[in-house]
Structure 1
């Protein structure tokens, strides 16, 4: 491992020792932005061969949906909302999920002037923790009926009858299908499972791979996705590993990798990484979420 990667990994390990994730902590009764716990992205990116000072080989966002947002209005009456928070992949930090949950809970007994004040406060605090502007939208109950479930577009590879015996990620599992030439397609799997690096709890997701280039062998892609089954990594880190592995092994000219992880603690995290020219995908909640 390069020295910069080792140093970054050590820093991330030390950071996680102080994170609330996996620890017994009390729930706050009043607003407290200090509850947010940032984790430097450089550690995991160093392991993937991305030096901290180098430009990123992808664009991307992490879309967080919060389903348990509540505060007191000026007269002490509770209000509720959903929140959508979009963290740019170029931010130096990701935000540890349990700290995000505790931070949102700190609003529960806090009086706020109105919903826009709450939105602005959340946006400012998340931006400070992430080290880059975070876009925040609140969805109020009057708009709940406009929310819909859906499935990401793509041909699902899960029905392929393949034998699998490797449950750690390896780029070597990926291959191209030389019989199909250059294609433009979107593939989908609902079989992504990774594990929290602190608690070991399973994280479940649907992953969508859209690309243009040499046809990816679909059986190899399915084996590769299942290869994360015993892997420990945060959602964002898993998607970045997938993006880089597919880019290196299959050499598409255009690539987008998007994972919709199931909800935990009132939050779901949906990382997306893409080559230049791709736009962030829609925030469409899947039935599993």
Structure 2
């Protein structure tokens, strides 16, 4: 550790740098502040991003985080005034306009630049939109379907055997959890439930009788409601567009900085493409003489 500190201090010298910081809790429920540093290395003649420090947090408020940050910079002999930028998530303790970490650091460094995590912004937007517009029973469907299998290997095996019977020996993909701490994990959860809807419906029609479990009865009723299936088909299509819009490769090749900084532009872009796809599907249906309201392929969207 002393060798690493000496090498890093020598490499950075008195040059400018930026800090990425985030809170974390370990398995013993101890809070830490993780720090990464971004700077130009004279030795390597390139920009370097590397782990800096993992500082224990006594207080998890803005004052505690700022104190831990300044203490860590002191350990590495880094001048606070050379810090030109920080990157954080969008938690209120970090971005609060009155008592946030950035606000307090800016009092010491007036020219400090703050970069918020775009992934966190999109996650918060999707979560908020889902809670405001989607039926509450969908959240129950996501969580309890995952819990049904996650806590029982025997239930997983029963479902695997059923899935293979229906799908000519193919094994099912694992049901995943819609977590609030993993960016857009709801997209994977929606895809798995939507793609395995028939198999899950069949599974819970059997288990509600064999296990005589209230949760199984509730899940079976939800899977029998085709309106829930329609919601998932819609979510699957929209979330696919969200993921495409905010993947790093897409941002690097097609989206300019303006779109990166302005979620409204992306919202309009997603909306226009969603409507455009639906119009194309309707036009195609008219040509074929079809009148389908619900289309369930990856490229279709229900509006």
Higher Cα Rg: structure 1 or 2? 2
- Alignment TM class, shorter chain as reference: under 0.3
Q: Which has the higher contact order (CA 8 A, sep 6+)?
A: 1
Higher strand share: 1
TM-score by length of 2: 0.24
TM-score by length of 1: 0.25
